[in-house]
Structure 1
Amino acid sequence: MNTNRRSFIKKSIIGTGLLSGASLLGNEVFAHESTSSASKISLNNDDIILFQGDSITDVGRDRNNRNANDTGALGHGYALLAASQLLNKYPAKNLKVYNTGISGNRVPDLQKRWQEDTLAIKPTVLSILIGVNDFWRTIDRGAQTTVDEYKSQYQQLLHETLQKLPNVKLIIGEPFAVKGVGHITDAWYPKFLAYQESARDIAKEFGGILIPYQKIFDNAQKSAPGAYWAADGVHPTLAGAQMMASAWMECIK
């Protein structure tokens, strides 16, 4: 998104409070089911790239390690694989890549730690994958989170982000599940679809690039069963993590 539009967003938020994203961004917003050259992110020298989310992003990272570009700090999943490709492809840009995903997180958990684990890092590119636990906990632990709460909390999070970091470039991962594998039973549907739709709406509302992970995992099952890509239906295998990293890299020009 260009600087003038981000400046307008910042002034609108500060001047009028938390208006709806649609009214702030109008028809200029975009979300992509496949990234085109016009929509991809151009990396600049000294960019700070942050991966945020739940266990799919966390994947065993050392949470006491706050260093950029560090294998232990990046975990063992798609964030590490994407970071490896970024750092290999753009050695002259002095990129700094962080991962602050935490297993089990929902949007309210992100809200509680957003200042320390996102805003304080001052990312110029922010990648968020959140939502599967917001629904899953209603199935396995009796949480009362509704899809409307998921969406409104997510919106609040991004309003705050744009107020503090008006020029940040957003990548929104669509929450996904492999139906019929592991934990993913018929009880998930059709309710889970509404959470996915909300994530897509949010990408459009806030001018982020959407990564359509559900479609990506669905298409992958044409070449191998769902468990090959996500053994429990949610957490990617090594093959699934690489597939996610490759899709993430498609967002970069």
Structure 2
Amino acid sequence: MRITADARLLFIGDSITDAGRDYADPASLGSGYVREIARTFGAGGSTGPGPTVINKGVNGHRVYDLESRWTTDVIDERPTVVTVKIGINDTWRRYDRGVVSPVDEFEASLDRVLTHTARKLAARLVVITPFLLPVTPDQEAWYEDLSPRTDAVLRTARAHGAQVVRADLLLPRAAEESGAAALAPDGVHPSPRGHELLADAWLTTVDSAAPAPEHRSARG
């Protein structure tokens, strides 16, 4: 399906979506995959010749944080496409702070926000799976928590007919050639190349008429 100029593309999630955006500026898209997608469509922010692009990522957020601000940050914005990227902090907090996010509760929260969206908006839903590119031995243990959480994301997305961007498959495959640190120096936050790969995957999944990756990158 093609993304048209009158579309409103809203992205919500944690720091990977946030990517350093200016919270005081509604048009700020950060420096990550959301900005790369906007550039593909010729949109520089909330206004422009392409579709409207809105970034509602917030550094450090877990799924429960998204749920608490969903009405204001998603429903009230009246988007036509809603993209959710969440889950890695729900895992990470277990290992760095001892804060556990039970997978069943995580899944229920994600289900509630997608259900709420379907009830309030005629919007396409897109879900980007959480991913990890271990760069330290201790991060390998995170998969015990992350793998079932990723399965929960996939179940919920499919139950709601959402399109799925499999970042959990894409980035590890790319890391086999370039190395994990080249795509996510700390194992979690993408490098510029990592964000480009996420943007390309979103465009391939969501917009059948998007320019080829080399054309998008050539815009500079």
TM-score range (shorter-chain normalised) is 0.7 to 0.9
Determine the structure 2 residue equivalent to 1:153.
109
Q: Distance in 1 between matches of 2:32 and 2:5?
A: 25
Which of 25, 29, 33 aligns to 1:65? It is 25
Match of 2:142 among 188, 208, 212: 188
> Aligned in 2, Cα 1:182/1:223: closer, same or farther, shift over 3 Å?
same
Partners of 1:246 and 1:118 in 2: CA distance: 23
SS in 2 for 1:232: coil
> Which residue of the other structure, out of 167, 181, 189, is the alignment partner of 1:235?
189
| CA pair 58-182 structure 1, distance change in 2 beyond 3 A | farther
* Match for residue 134 of structure 1 among 82, 90, 108: 90
2:127 equivalent to 1:172: yes
Structure 1 partner of 2:32: 77
Deviations 1:120-159 (A, max 9, x none): 1111011110011111111111113101111000001111
Larger relative contact order (CA 8 Å, sep ≥ 6):
1
- Look up the SS of the partner of 2:41 in the other structure: helix
Q: Partner of 1:100 in structure 2?
A: 56
- Aligned residue identity for 2:84: I
In the superposition, the TM-score normalised over structure 1's length comes to 0.77
Change (3 A) 1:183 1:76: farther
Task: Report SS of the residue matched to 2:6.
Answer: coil
CA shift, 1:183, in A, is: 8.2
**One-letter amino acid of the counterpart of residue 148, structure 2:** A
The equivalent of 2:4 in structure 1 is 44
In the TM superposition, 1:208-223 aligns within 5 A as: 208-223=162-177
Consecutive unaligned residues of structure 1, counting only runs of 5 or more, are: 1-40, 68-72
Report the Cα distance in structure 1 between the residues aligned to 2:176 and 2:20, rounded to whole angstroms: 29
Cα pair 1:125 1:168 within 8 Å, conserved? yes
2: CA distance, partners of 1:195 / 1:185? 15
Would you say the 8 A contact 1:182–1:231 is kept in 2? Answer: no
What SS does the aligned partner of 2:131 have? Answer: coil
Task: Report deviation, 1:186.
Answer: 2.9
* Alignment CA distance shift 1:50-1:182 (3 Å): farther
Distance 1:77 1:45, change over 3 A: closer
Measured in 2, the distance between the counterparts of 1:144 and 1:204 equals 25
Q: Report the RMSD for the aligned CA atoms in angstroms.
A: 1.8
Question: What displacement does 1:182 show?
Answer: 4.4
Find the residue that maps to 1:222 and give its secondary structure: helix
Q: 3-state DSSP class of the match of 2:57?
A: coil
Structure 2, unpaired ranges of 5+? 209-220
Give the direction of change, closer, same or farther, for the CA distance of 1:111–1:141 in structure 2 (3 Å limit): same
Task: Answer with 1 or 2: which has the greater Rg.
Answer: 1
CA deviation vs aligned residue, 1:49-107 (integer Å, no higher than 9, x gap): 0111000000110111113xxxxx1000111011111227xxx9741111010000111
* 1:249 and 2:203 correspond: yes
Deviation at residue 230 of structure 1 after TM alignment: 0.4
Q: Which amino acid counterpart does residue 175 of structure 1 have in structure 2? A: P
> Which residue of structure 2 aligns with residue 35 of structure 1?
none
